[in-house]
Structure 1
């Protein structure tokens, strides 16, 4: 009996031990390591979930901007088990991307992006291959990126996409071409899907996501769209390859294929089929969505603020009259130029930029950021930095004008990011935005539909990989 009583008295010991182990484990997970005291501050994470309960994945940039107000311009946030450093405000983002370009210059590649591109192309690539593809693309785009004619009466997305298509493939598509329409529509849909909460959660927990693949509709659709576009691009490239003449370079693809022939047999050459297809895909998607989305914001803002549209059209009528606008007119149209810049600033279509990753341990603004840390340059905090912009949340072209009405450049204007990962198509995009915007406003006045007031136009964005306008309708009235 005494033995039994002793056994019963000792029986709870394993339970007590388990509890102690769990307490110690929680203490270990939540207690700072020696290095963490030097790392950027941030909200305390939960095991596995990190800070996900504090974040609105459907409006992530707004959540991060709020956290920056509490934790400063350099802070840590845990996306599930993944530790991420966020950079907020113009001075901090500029210092990191420009002054420490090498240390912050690598691209963080999400699991889903890696599944699609396999380290090839430009946007989601690193190392020697990325450097070679970016250098080649920049030099080649300079040769093909100027003076492309376009029909301003066609839908914005197809018109803008035809510009980059002419550069890449050497010819434009008919707007009624179903292959072209599907390629553009699939690219635009993928931009939206990439910013969805479902895709973000998959990238945080890829192993779990692959097990649940049949229930992840957005991932399946994104992959289907990507692979369909890859097959279409392979067909377009094959047709160009069959008619290739090394003595006559018609387009970007021709230049790549000629370089590929020149380096045939060279060990380690990055001019191979995978890089060609992924680079073309990068240029096609980036060259369509960002410019078209900015133009759609521009027309929406002109309809919402007709007094600003009046001033743009008055300046254009006075300076260029009825002739076709040219790139060099930008210097003579300061108010119009200021309006275009303010559209880009307020639209803020890439609020999170694309994530970077540190290439080495770095002490930045007094904090230790370890090699391999994902870094988000929070461009939303730059374009709305209250220390840089007088009215950061309002549409105010005066942000880019001096007291005498002359256009002024602003250092905190970073719609194309900065540093070594800045948008390689920046000069082409600036030209396109100016020519499309001025050509459209020269010929049309944009207004709300009958029975709708300007105040009813909603400026709440649809969140994806970029911020696009909510669905709306406008009237385009001929000024002829």
Structure 2
């Protein structure tokens, strides 16, 4: 009996989805793209470990854009910079909404900036931006946070050098560094680099990212069979870690003497008119969002950058020479423009190894038109409400039409004026990450210190593999290198 009911439900959903609801989507069916299976869509064509390579394959075949189904979701993948600008920037009001999976919504609980509606996002983002703009500490305090936490990282690396005969695996240390920076920024509290709390926060962050990837996210038909207890559990676990610090600041908060980001957020809550749109219940989610959004992406960039510098001694030496020539032992954020090679190298690593192969997808909330000049056949297409728009940064980053010798690490392409290059670090358009500038500043300060303090060499002069795998983000195989402490005298 139960099996019969389940079959009937699945049949009704299938007929409704695939046979009855496509009348207004004829333009989608006109767009070229791979064959889509019922329920699965084109998921069968993707390599799970090299997800980004599958996009490259479709890019070579379909060029500017194509239609694809991810599970049960209709998607238009945008490949050309021109088309991405046309849709995501010029028609931004029509593609403002993010695609939020059931897993992300379960994590967000209506209070997270990572999984909210467009109206909620505007409210939450505005709150965060205002909170930080009121932060009178400004760049000087960010400099202090970055430098203080980096110094702990540097001392830890020196200990590893001595205990491991100069052989170090840097990835876990970069993750601890990003966690310690975020924690200090939020609470104004210093933790020892090896404090167990750092590792506990890191474990929770990785567990949340992993648990928010379920079959029902792409195939809603299976949502009724999906349990979200693992997400609920790890959110409670992470909240328990930050709760003591949060409660401490709520009790000891001095409105006239804010000392950290949390103090400024509390002030913003108090300054709101009634009824309050943001409450104290939002604070744990803001704190968790920053750990989740700021740890994996920033630490992964540090890991890739150092790996490629290890394989490119000449480039590593050029960056160090620039740092020494400017003559500032401890660069600060106001000095950033004095280091064009370092800044360009950070952009180049984002081009070669973007954190995600695709930029966060949008949902069409008003019909949009792909103009005929962007179509290989000279046609235009009306894209209906509910379609996902996926900007594919990875593939055009490797197209010689846009980047000369795209497989070569060449930061010179970003030195000087290059208006024809659309550079996408974490996102594009009006709905970008509110913490993006924080992450870029963090990378600048860390690298400006790191390459003055250490030299990185391949073990036994054997180049490290730069092959990329897609496991939550684009990452290398685990690697180690020889780290040599430099003499500052």
Q: Which residue does the alignment assign to 1:178?
A: 196
SS of the equivalent of 1:424 reads coil
1:302 deviates by 0.8
Q: Which residue does the alignment assign to 2:479?
A: 472
The whole-number CA distance in structure 2 between the counterparts of 1:56 and 1:29 is 29
Q: Provide, for residues 48-97 of structure 1, a one-character-per-residue CA deviation record: whole Å limited to 9, x for no partner.
A: 22222222243333222322333342321112222122111222222222
Are 2:358 and 1:352 aligned? yes
Q: Which residue does the alignment assign to 2:66?
A: 75
Are 2:238 and 1:229 aligned? yes
Structure 1 residues 179-258: aligned runs within 5 Å: 179-191=197-209, 194=212, 199-206=213-220, 208=222, 211=225, 213=227, 223-258=232-267
Q: Which residue does the alignment assign to 2:180?
A: 162
Structure 1 residues 224-373: aligned runs within 5 Å: 224-263=233-272, 266-267=274-275, 269-320=276-327, 323-365=329-371, 366-373=380-387
Q: Provide, for residues 127-150 of structure 1, a one-character-per-residue CA deviation record: whole Å limited to 9, x for no partner.
A: 332111111212333435622233
Match of 1:388 among 388, 392, 402: 402
Task: Answer yes or no: is the 8 Å Cα contact 1:382–1:413 preserved in 2.
Answer: no
TM, length-normalised to structure 1: 0.83
Q: Aligned pair in 2 of structure 1 residues 48, 343: CA closer, same or farther (>3 Å)?
A: closer
Q: Which residue does the alignment assign to 2:26?
A: 36
The whole-number CA distance in structure 2 between the counterparts of 1:320 and 1:428 is 25
Match of 1:49 among 40, 44, 49: 40
The whole-number CA distance in structure 1 between the counterparts of 2:456 and 2:445 is 17
Q: Across the two proteins, how many residue pairs are aligned to each other? A: 436
TM, length-normalised to structure 2: 0.81
1:178 deviates by 1.4
Task: Answer yes or no: is the 8 Å Cα contact 2:78–2:392 preserved in 1.
Answer: yes
Task: Answer yes or no: is the 8 Å Cα contact 2:333–2:445 preserved in 1.
Answer: yes
The whole-number CA distance in structure 2 between the counterparts of 1:96 and 1:172 is 44
Q: Provide, for residues 127-178 of structure 1, a one-character-per-residue CA deviation record: whole Å limited to 9, x for no partner.
A: 3321111112123334356222332414322222222222222223222221
Q: Which residue does the alignment assign to 2:12?
A: none
Match of 1:431 among 441, 459, 464: 441
When Rg is computed on C-alpha atoms for both structures, the one with the higher figure is: 1
Moved over 6 A (4+): none
Q: Aligned pair in 2 of structure 1 residues 293, 411: CA closer, same or farther (>3 Å)?
A: same
Match of 2:53 among 54, 57, 62: 62
Match of 1:415 among 425, 430, 438: 425
Q: Aligned pair in 2 of structure 1 residues 103, 176: CA closer, same or farther (>3 Å)?
A: same
